[in-house]
Structure 1
Amino acid sequence: MEQLTEFIYAIDDFMWGSWMTILILVTGILLSVRFHFRYQRSVAFNFRNTFAKIRSKGEGEGTISGFKAACTALANTVGTGNISGVATAIVSGGPGALIWMWISAFFGMSTKACEIIIGQRYREHYKESMNEYVCDRSFVLKNAFGWKRGAVVLAGFCFLFGPWTCSVQTEAVTSSISEAFGIPSIVTVILIGVTCLVTIWGGLPRISSVMSKAVPVMAVLYIIMGLGVLVIHVQEIPAVISLIVKSAFSPTAAVGGFAGATVRDAIQYGVARGIYSNDAGTGYGMIAHASAVTDHPVRQSLWGWGEVCLDTFIICAVTAFTIIITGAYYTSDATSGALTTIAFTNAYGPVGGKMTAIAIAVFAWTTIIGMYYTCEKSVNYAFGDTEANRKIRPFYMIYYMIPCVVLYNIEADILWAFTDILSALYVLITIFIIAARHKEIFRLFDDFWKRYLPAKERGENPPYVTFDCRENVKSTNE
């Protein structure tokens, strides 16, 4: 077991070495420049076309509203990565890891937008087995490149190993619940398993409906908790900011339970945990947003801006500041969700720890459900729009839950290392797809800003730009 652990750590270190960090950052930078930083600077426009229209189903073709699709995506992004993931990043990379989370997220807005555009462009409408618009990396390999055999292999890999990444969710929940309430881990795991299974059993309609209610409410409550900590320790904020910035660009000395970190550690863990937290570059965006009702793929891509902002610039920052400003970073040798729980306990007393444990539990619960939806798309591809696809899904739901309820007691660092490895593989595939189909992405981007949107603003009614690759035709003309 010790040799296996060392092997996993070695692969993790290689996959998230300097070359991966450079690849992710350079990809985001180049895309942002090509997009003229539209996703970063057009804040008012982005808001008007996303959060300001959460009650609108939208125009065009699709299965669920753009808001529900975004909440399904946010179920993946706003999760324990924001709480336990940030904690492990700070423990391993120092406070400066937060800066590198922000840097990768800033440019990652453009990367995530590309994922969403690709998902809308190469999606298929499964009419027989589920009446749903679907897409993932396998659909793109087939519809964009014609690589049917490679797509099947990728689909098999994703639906077999994807569920194993959820073990980090249950580990975070059990550790924090145990820390705050003293409830046995087995009880927590059983409760998570049963409630998640009941929810995913209802398919996309139930998943999207639950996510559109649970994710926003829990995110707001957690942010309020974090802001309360900042208010209590307002005089210490300048010193914390100084520490975070300094640690991002110079080695961090060992203090308390922290062993110290190099700048390379700060970059590596900041980018890796940032990617896991906001999914900018992993390809999950193309899966969750493919089902959205929209009149143009680029309009739906604006939701990527909101997801990254809420996830990394706000919620991750709340966690990092709380861990540092309450002294948990200096005094505790805990990691993962337990460290964040201790931080809020230091701020609010026992009630703070209990509130954090509940937040972690809800975030993990929504992430497990959101991850199921992304894994299920690989099953959908493998079995096609057939009766077999409809029949196999209940069995896959059970298989999906097994790692969640079995691997919760493995050491957190090992679980995160395994999750990092899978995330790195997804990133490589996604960046390849973006690079290979960049001309089509840029064509759609330019079409929206130079033709479609100006026509709408003039009061015209240009045809919707929507796609269904199963029909092998675009549902509207150019």
Structure 2
Amino acid sequence: METFLGLVSSVSNWLWGVPLLVLLGGGGLFLSIYLGFFQFKYLPFILGQTFGKIFSKPEGEGTVSPFQAATAALASTVGASNIVGVPVAIAFGGPGAIFWMWVFALLGSASKFSEILLGIKYREKNAEGEFVGGPMYYLSKGLKSKFLGGCFAFFLMIEIVPSIATQSVSFIQTAGTIGISSMVSAAIMTVIVLVVVYGGIQRITKVTEKMVPIMAILYLVGALVIIIVNITELPGVIVLIFKSAFTPIAATGGFAGSTIAGALRWGSARGTYSNEAGMGTAPMAHCAAVTDHPVRQAFWGIFEIIVDTMLICTMTAFVVLTTGLWETVPAAEAASIPARAFQSVFGNSFGGGMVTFFIMMFVLSTIIVLVFYGEKQAEFLFGTKVGKVMKIVNVSAIVFGAIGGIEFLYQFLDLLLALVIIPNMIGLVMLRKEIKESLDDFFGNPKYYPKAKVKERKAE
């Protein structure tokens, strides 16, 4: 068994090195070029259609509002790694890792936009009359590859079980720091998740549309206070980020130093993993949204990149760098830097309690949406009845995280996730013409894009 697990670990480490970073980063770059870097060209319009229409009533078919769908997808991506993953990237990749995090996030926005667009285009209604969709549908119907669609659904369905268990462990360990026992934590999580997910996508989105903005805003405000306290350091930090992205940085204090390759590797990983661009999970939440055109809903994928990576992860990075803790705290303890930073400004008890609260809420929101994603994979493969059974299995994984017993499955997490990403990225690249046709249809039609009228008149 040890030999087998060692082989799995070796294969996973290899896949999550150059191959997947090339597939995700290169795929995002290819789509960005092919689609004319639309995410930059039309950015003001995209911001107006997302941030500017959070409370607007949408037109078209669907079950939930575009903003509700976006917050459900964000609930999955805005997790504990936004707080503890960023300082780890800095500890091993240096401040330059943040520059590459931004680059890969911006390129990845083309991938996330594309998968949501295709998800809406190929969505359908299930036996209960609910809109469902995602890579398993557009791979099967659009690419006409039931094999790739089935692979995506199967591997994601399996991956989600240990993923929920590991999230559960994070919640339990964090709650343990304020004296809550593991079984009490597991019971609280289980009850909350059951109440939310058994209300279906409508209840999930009603919860996430309130929970995600509140927890994100509170965290950003807390981080902003810390940055303001250390505001004199910010200009130097910004210069350091750009400079160390292209030059090696020497060891200092607890920081062991980093190379350009190290900055690129850790930054690209953080930019890719934090927002799930290219992983194919977001479309499953977005496919229930009310929309009049697939492109309009796909804009919310770029909204998610901005909130998750460009705002939350960036603020965490500024907290880590402006306080100077990245230079004194050893790399092995890098995950504790945000808590130490909050404690340095808000006091040990209150500051530590704030970070504990944020991590617990981020983890809880992630689990809620993961249970839903797992159910939809089983539903695609075996029908709605098996999907409901899988929901029970996924909720049970919360308890397994508390009592243990499936730790060996953790060894397969990275490998299974790689096997999810590969068919999805293949599908996005192969269906690129359909993506571009939809994009051209939207921006060439005055009904959707008002400035299209100007172009028509000039042509006349």
Q: Which amino acid aligns with 2:239?
A: S
In the alignment, what sits opposite 1:276? 273
Judge conservation of contact 1:281–1:427 (CA < 8 Å) in 2: yes
Shift of 1:355: 0.7
Aligned counterpart, 2:457 = none
Identity rate, percent: 37
Contact 2:156-2:416 within 8 A present in 1 as well: no
**What one-letter code is carried by the residue in structure 2 that aligns with 1:81?**
S
Counterpart-to-counterpart distance in 2, 1:108 and 1:429: 16
In 2, Cα distance between equivalents of 1:234 and 1:102: 21
In the alignment, structure 1 residue 221 sits paired with structure 2 residue 218: yes
| Residue of structure 2 in register with 1:471 after alignment | none
**1:326–1:343 Cα contact (<8 Å) kept:** yes
Contact 2:32-2:107 at 8 Å conserved across structures: yes
Distance 1:394 1:212 in 2: 24
Q: Give the distance between the partners of 1:417 and 1:240, measured in 2 at CA.
A: 37
Pair 1:301-2:298 in alignment: yes
| Residue 415 to residue 332, structure 1, CA distance change in 2 (3 Å) | farther
Matched with 1:435 is 429
- How far apart are residue 346 of structure 1 and its match? 2.5
Counterpart for residue 400 of structure 2 = 406
Structure 2 distance, partners of 1:149, 1:2, is: 31
Deviates more, 1:161-170 or 1:206-215: 161-170
Name 1:174's counterpart in structure 2: 172
C-alpha deviation, 1:441, in angstroms: 1.0
- Quote the residue 1:264 is aligned against: 261
Alignment RMSD, CA only?
2.8
Decide which moves more: 213-222 or 84-93. Answer: 84-93
Displacement of 1:399 in angstroms is 1.1
1:366-414 CA distances to partner (integer Å, 9 max, x unpaired)?
Answer: 1111222222221121123xxxx1x43443222113434434699xxx9
Note the C-alpha offset of 1:20: 2.7
- Tell me if structure 2 keeps the 8 A contact 1:289–1:300: yes
Aligned counterpart, 2:420: 426
Q: Is the 8 A contact 1:176 1:338 kept in 2?
A: no
Q: 5 Å matches for 1:19-418?
A: 19-126=19-126, 128-129=127-128, 131-179=129-177, 181-329=178-326, 330-332=328-330, 335=333, 338-350=336-348, 351-384=350-383, 389=384, 391-407=385-401
Q: CA deviation at 1:178?
A: 3.6
**Which deviates the most, 112-121 or 77-86?**
77-86
SS in structure 1 of the partner of residue 368 of structure 2: helix
Which amino acid in the other structure matches residue 110 of structure 1?
A: A
Mapped to 1, the partners of 2:264 and 2:284 lie a distance apart of 28
Structure 1 residue 169, shift from structure 2 partner: 2.6
- Counterpart secondary structure, 2:445: helix
Gaps of 5+ in 1: 460-478
Q: Which residue type is aligned with residue 447 of structure 1? A: D
- CA contact under 8 A between 1:278 and 1:307: conserved in structure 2? yes
Change (3 A) 1:360 1:3: farther
- Structure 2 CA distance for aligned equivalents of residues 342 and 185 of structure 1: 24
Task: Give the structure 2 partner of residue 469 of structure 1.
Answer: none
Instruction: Return closer, same or farther for 1:397/1:46 CA change in 2, 3 Å cut-off.
Output: same
Equivalents in 1 of 2:410, 2:236: separation in Å? 30
Deviates more, 1:293-302 or 1:272-281: 272-281
SS of 1:83's equivalent in the other structure is: helix
Helix, strand or coil for the counterpart of 1:292? coil
SS of residue paired to 1:64: coil
Q: 1:394 to 1:338 in 2, by over 3 A?
A: farther
1:468: which partner in 2?
A: none
How far apart, CA to CA, are the structure 2 residues paired with 1:409 and 1:321?
A: 37
2:5–2:411 CA contact under 8 A, matched in 1: no
Kept in 2: contact 1:91–1:335 (CA 8 A): no
The more displaced of 295-304 and 86-95 is 86-95
Q: Any conservation in 2 of the 1:124–1:135 contact (CA below 8 Å)?
A: yes
Segment of structure 1 superposing worse, 104-113 or 18-27: 18-27
Between stretches 101-110 and 75-84, larger displacement belongs to 75-84
In 1, distance between residues paired with 2:235 and 2:451? 45
Normalised by the length of structure 2, the TM-score is: 0.88
Give the equivalent residue in structure 1 for 2:441. Answer: 447
Amino acid at match of 1:96: G
Cα deviation for residue 159 of structure 1 reads 1.4
Could you list the runs of 5+ residues in structure 2 that have no partner in the other structure? Answer: 454-460
Q: Does 1:10 align with 2:10?
A: yes
SS of the aligned residue for 1:307 comes to helix
- What is the number of residues matched between the two proteins? 449
> Alpha carbons of 1:172 and 1:113: their partners in 2 closer, same or farther (altered >3 Å)?
same
CA deviation string 1:104-130 (max 9, x = no partner): 01111111110111101111112x32x
SS, match of residue 342 in structure 1: helix
Worse overlay, 414-423 or 270-279: 414-423
- Which residue type is aligned with residue 440 of structure 2? D
Distance 1:242 1:55, change over 3 A: closer
